[in-house]
Amino acid sequence: MRIIAPILIACIMSFMDRVNISFALPGGMEQDLGITSQMAGVASGIFFIGYLFLQIPGGRIAVYGSGKRFIAWSLLVWAIVSIATGFVTHEYQLLVLRFILGVSEGGMLPVVLTIVSNWFPEKELGRANAFVMMFAPLGGILTAPVSGMIIAALDWRWLFIIEGLLSVVILAIWWLVISDRPEEATWLPEREREYLLTELGRERKARESLEPVSKAPLKAVFRNKGLVRLVILNFFYQTGDYGYTLWLPTILKNLTGGSMASVGMLAILPFVATLVGIYVISLFSDRSGKRRLWIRFSLYSFAAALVASVILREHVVASYIALIVCGFFLKSATSPFWSIPGRIAAPEVAGSARGVINGLGNLGGFCGPYLVGVMVYLYGQNVAVCALAVSLLLAGSITFLLPKACDFSPTETGGADTSVEGSKVI
């Protein structure tokens, strides 16, 4: 409650800020600013170009400094940028602000994942990450109806202004509640603190013999073939993920012909399914230890559901059910995926590794929305959705190339082999 809850709330706010444009565009922004489908794809995706800049610094700050302060400053910037977006009068002003928002949110995920790894032993890490990754579906559940209602009652400008003010409230909660590490938490009972420090310390020692990377952590990321493959996998995954997420309101509007308020309500169920999918797949992943298998299963299933939504497009209800199934598998791979870096890299490089994987991988967050925008313009929405499915199939296939060390035996003490020899061959 003291660690996951504030992290989850802050992450939900970041998700709302990055995807509210997906409701604003069909809710009047396109007409008011004269935005084409191609420019809409750029406006949705340019966030992820800015997202690159603070990935590695954010990860390092979380490892060696204070992730709490980093996120606090980020929340302040999100608030200012979001409110300013409500006053744009030209598409290029929008592009600049979306880029700045991407920069300010860039260190978010590596920071919070590092904070989580500071608190949870390996045997609990998959589920802890799963709860954090629920920010996306929870953010979607909140963003969809709230955005639809705000746009219907006021207009798209108030959507950005109101959600910007909400970031200030979240900032106060974050600063009062979160702690970076167990040793810094004055509210933590001594018995629990000793347990965590002992357990986490033993796991750290078990992995120290992987390879001596502490002197050059950034170079070590690119020398580690497993980490490089995670970057590539994440790129294709995020292409499909954000291509679906940022265009879902438009897809639903075209499918049903409904108002933005009804589209907002219809968008709830896919994100409810996402919430369930994250937790269910994390349980199977933690119990079996087969991280690669469950990533592959999730991505292949996501791709199949996307194709089904196109095949069934003449049957509105069936196509909508397929989109809900997409939602189930939308983020289900994230829990096993983000449990892997700590198993194939030494602890000293973990923060930088997460930053590189998330930053470079999330270039797919630009390519996905832009790809959909171009495909819609050239070939139509159905071809665009199938292109996203191909990207997900590529991501799932890369799991065959990941090292066996990504998986672990659920019988290992504390979720990790505590022997020096075992730490090399898990």
The pLDDT score that the predictor gives to residue 168 is 92
Band (218; pLDDT cuts 50, 70, 90)? low
Has residue 418 got a pLDDT over 80?
no
When pLDDT is averaged across residues 343-352 and rounded to a whole number, the result is 63
Band (398; pLDDT cuts 50, 70, 90)? very high
Report how far Cα 227 is from the mean position of its chain's Cα atoms: 18
When pLDDT is averaged across residues 106-127 and rounded to a whole number, the result is 81
The 10s digit of each residue's pLDDT in 267-298 is 889 988 988 998 899 888 888 888 899 999 99
Has residue 213 got a pLDDT over 70?
no
Q: What is the dihedral of CA 273, 279, 282, 287, to 10 degrees?
A: -130
The pLDDT score that the predictor gives to residue 423 is 33
- Give CA–CA dist 388/392, Å, rounded: 6
Higher-confidence residue: 204 or 43?
43
| Contact present, 3 and 26 (Cβ < 8 Å) | no
The pLDDT score that the predictor gives to residue 214 is 45
| Contact present, 334 and 211 (Cβ < 8 Å) | no
Q: Which amino acid makes up residue 18?
A: R
Has residue 421 got a pLDDT over 60?
no
CB neighbourhood size of 322 (10 A): 21
Band (326; pLDDT cuts 50, 70, 90)? very high
The 10s digit of each residue's pLDDT in 27-76 is 888 888 888 877 887 887 788 788 777 766 776 777 677 888 888 998 99
Give all domains of the chain, ordered by start, each with its CATH number: 4-182+218-425 (1.20.1250.20)
Has residue 416 got a pLDDT over 70?
no
Higher-confidence residue: 274 or 220?
274
DSSP type of residue 258: -
Q: What is the dihedral of CA 381, 298, 107, 5, to 10 degrees?
A: 110
Has residue 415 got a pLDDT over 50?
no
The pair of three-digit structure tokens given for residue 376, joined into one six-digit string: 């819609």
Has residue 111 got a pLDDT over 50?
yes
Choose from 137-146, 224-233, 394-403 the range with maximum mean pLDDT: 394-403
